[in-house]
Amino acid sequence: MDYQVEEISDFDRFTTLEKEWNALLAAAPINAPFLRHEWFRIWWKAFGEGKRRMAILTVRAQGGALVAIAPLMEERGFRVGIPCRIWTSLCNDHSCRFDFILADLSEEARAGIFKALTDYLSARRPRIHFLELQDLPADSPTLTHLTAASGRGGRRLGMRPSLETPILPMQGKWSSYFESVSGNLRRNLRRRRRQLEEQGKVALVCVTGDSRDGGTAGLIPHLEEGFRIEAMAWKGAAGTAIDGNGGWSEFYSEWAHTAAERGWLRLYFLKLDDRPIAFYYTLVYDQKLYYLKLGYDPAYARYSPGILLHQEILSAAFQEGLTELDFLGPRMAWKEDWTAQLRPHLWLYLFEGGMIPRAIYLIKFKLFPYLREISWLTRLQRRLLRKDAFGVSAKPATEPLPEAPFERTAEAVGKEAA
């Protein structure tokens, strides 16, 4: 079957796709809120518009049916110190996860779709040097088919590990699950809850933006309160909190209103005598719970308010019959207190032929692994990496304290460059 690829670089044209886009996603094997049309629309306004060129690829079968979407953008930057032009995933560290959207078709049909996509990319050579996808799930069919495509036309494939995200499948009753976690964890939680209750009345508050909360218009003070709490611990000092980063605040506020209108938003607060001391910004989408952001008041760190709030949220999720908790972000010890299951992600690079793509591939995937084996040469690697996109060095992610916010920060991980 022949497939037609269209490149969409106009925002107004992109907005007309919402109904088709979301219908394709709803029927796709992978359905996540970070792949919805609304998410990309809000993301583009906050992070892409005026900074990059939209390059979304749609694939249609004979008859015009939409069968695949590759949400991409074009950017000029540096990789391993070399100036280059890249088609990269339309995402950043706020996006948590990325993938192409594919119709639920046979493997043969999907192979045809990816051949059409990669042929289209090759036809843009030498304007585009390579494809770069961030935080692609390791079990994604996109990985399978792009790997197969790498054997054609002089292409080269490179991969780097990215996030290992803890997830918790939720089955059975909360009481049974809670008994399965560490006895030390259960005892510590009971003790800290008791100690906190000695300080005053402890209450869980959930804001969804429905009529009881004053509708979506009533979300603004709750979001401001939540963002204030999120900035109170280490992220405020590091400059990585939502509050104080104008583009971030606009993005998370607009997404909250959109999610509330569709019934997905859950803003959770743990309060002590009506004073909020912990905050979680979460979504419930397709019967799954997602943790986007959290924060806590460090004045109450001795009581682990963030972990106590997590316990309350998780208990409610079991009772509601949700099927999975996706912690999002990297693995951390406190998350692994609650689950041993991980969802690995990776960075994927598909290099076209030509001198610049070949040089970047050889340095990134041949030379750098060799340099890592020679400790005194790692300084050279770091100097090269400082010239990569966004000026972010490849510092290893450090694991915050158990009460620290757990999402990946730009400082800790940033744009992958190693």
Q: For residue 251, what is the enclosing H or E element?
A: helix 246-261
* Vertex 137 angle, CA 15 and 249, to 5°: 50
Percent of the chain with pLDDT over 90: 77
Q: What is the DSSP string of 17-72?
A: THHHHHHHHHHSS---GGGSHHHHHHHIIIIITTTSEE-EEEEE-TTS-EEEEE-E
Does 47 or 238 have the greater pLDDT score? 47
Average pLDDT rounded to a whole number, residues 351-377: 86
Q: Is the pLDDT of residue 215 over 60?
A: yes
Interval 219-248 mean pLDDT:
86
Residue 23 has pLDDT above 70, yes or no: yes
Residue pLDDT, tens place only, 389-409: 333 333 333 333 334 333 333
pLDDT (0 to 100) of residue 389: 39
Mean pLDDT of 129-154: 91
Residue 227, pLDDT > 90, answer yes
Cis bond leading into 141, ω under 30°?
no
pLDDT at 293 over 60: yes
- Summarised one tens digit per residue, pLDDT across range 153-186 is 789 999 999 999 999 999 999 999 999 999 999 9
Confidence of residue 303 (pLDDT cuts 50, 70, 90): very high
Helix (H, G, I), strand (E, B) or coil at 219: helix
CA distances from residue 220 to 19, 197, 209, 223, 226 in whole angstroms, order as listed: 28, 29, 10, 5, 10
Instruction: Tell me whether the CATH fold assigned to 4-164+345-391 matches the one assigned to 171-322.
Output: yes
**Phi-psi label, residue 273: left if phi above 0, alpha if psi -120 to 50, beta otherwise:** left
Task: Say which CATH topology domain 4-164+345-391 has.
Answer: Aminopeptidase (3.40.630)
Q: What is the mean pLDDT of the chain?
A: 89
Per-domain boundaries in the chain: 4-164+345-391, 171-322
pLDDT of residue 159: 96
| Residue 234, pLDDT score | 75
Q: Which CATH superfamily does the domain covering 171-322 fall into?
A: Gcn5-related N-acetyltransferase (GNAT) (3.40.630.30)
Place of tokens 């990215």: 162
pTM reported for the whole predicted model: 0.88
Q: Could you tell me the pLDDT band of residue 381, with boundaries at 50, 70 and 90?
A: low
- Give me the pLDDT at residue 392, please: 37
Confidence of residue 416 (pLDDT cuts 50, 70, 90): very low
Instruction: Give me the percent of the chain exceeding a pLDDT of 70.
Output: 89
Note the pLDDT tens digit of each residue in 68-104. Answer: 999 999 999 999 999 999 999 999 999 999 999 999 9
